[in-house]
Structure 1
Amino acid sequence: MTLYRNPATALPYGSLYARIGGSVKTLTQLYCRASGRNLPLLSQIRDGSIAMLYNSSYQPAYLADNLRTSLVNAGKTGVLEFSDFSATSLGNILTTRQILLVPPPAAGDLFGMLDGAARQQLINFVNRGGHLLTFANSPGTLSLLNLFALGASDGVNTPPFSRNPAIAAPFNAASLPPALQNCNHTWSARFSGAATASSWQYLYLDASGLSQVASFVIGGGRVSYLGYSWEHGGFADWETVLRELLNA
């Protein structure tokens, strides 16, 4: 069941609120009681596994909009969005999430604002099995990746971006495009500390051998890098790679 603002526009996740315990909170599920059972009225308010950190003070709204569209195209509707990156907020949200997406910050120093406790929440999330997905390599994205000792630094971004023939499980090379589209907002990255991960895969490499898409096993979880900011929306090939990473 979907709620609509008008006959043509569905209400996005985050539009429904209730006062609970004296404070206003976003509704995550609605139930009715019938024949002694609790039955869900809204079963598709959110995808139960995915959260997206979006703070308009640091991240452009259009990047989040473009990612939302790509997530819907991947069959991921109602993703939980939040803007508070305090340790308390991260701890409360990430204990029930499997995947965290972080659009690239373009203004200010989002990750410089994370205190030690907040950074530890992100590390704990990955170590206990969570999957952190980052996009493009703004300085803030590189800082986030380097929470995990990956030695991430800016690459030279030399197309074409070709699929690595050595791709292995959990990724399926047959379901991935042979190359990725280049545009003004793609960036390759260098990972000099990748050996700190228990295993890693460079899914796509640029012409100089640097990573355009990479994924690292850290503790019980995973950290992934997609070298496109979603500036121009979700090109079909990039959306295919995003979907593969979401399902890893």
Structure 2
Amino acid sequence: MSHQPLTHNGAVTFVGAGPGCVDMLTMGAFRALQEADVVIHDRLVGPEILALAKGTLIDAGKEGFGPSTPQSAINALIVGHAGTGARVVRLKGGDCGIFGRLDEEIEALEAAGIQWSILPGLTSAAAAAAAIGQSLTKRGRNRGLRIVTGHDMDGFADQDWKGLARSGEVAAIYMGKKASRFIQGRLMMHGADANTPVTLVENATRPDQRIVAATLGTLSDTATCLTGPAVMLYGLAPRAAAQALPELHEASGLKEVTA
């Protein structure tokens, strides 16, 4: 997606870095990293991907319920560097349009008259589903997929719990680890079966990837064993056939723990 320059300032490319594994970076993202003068990146972008950049690296990370660079400061960084004529890559984990505050940063650039474009990336939900051998949609099971967040600016995020609690629903829950007890309680309060499968994929696609199979009833206890960023796949369990192929697990660095 390209836009004509509004002034003679530099340009900003928003790039999705994918879920972590360098092999899942798009060719467009690779070229952008090679050509950028400045790369302003999130904390979840791994060192192998950052090593591809030839320009100056600037960490502008955010952490849920933890230390974060204020959004206003990130906007100022992007606008400031592009305003000098630099080619800037704003590098975000996963896809830059999913829980990446993309619109806020675009609005800051447009207010400053700076050209921008978007290179989408592979979102973590797709990578996590592939890791457990499942599709995110399936005929006869779910005609839709919800991508929701476990928390937002106000704390734990409220969702359409009644809709999610219906049998057969599938959702990818981002940033839900610390909100797991809240999510569990809200869903069960609205009638969700405690035996509904929930799979947690920690550090999706990375060498330390871990898959933890749980149920809604065990979700909050299971989430406490995770230390890295994780996607919760509500309504999906790891495909049983994958358990019969330990050599594939070993080759990919995948570990599976059933809780």
TM score, norm. by length of structure 1: 0.30
TM score, norm. by length of structure 2: 0.29
Higher strand share: 1
Higher helix share: 2
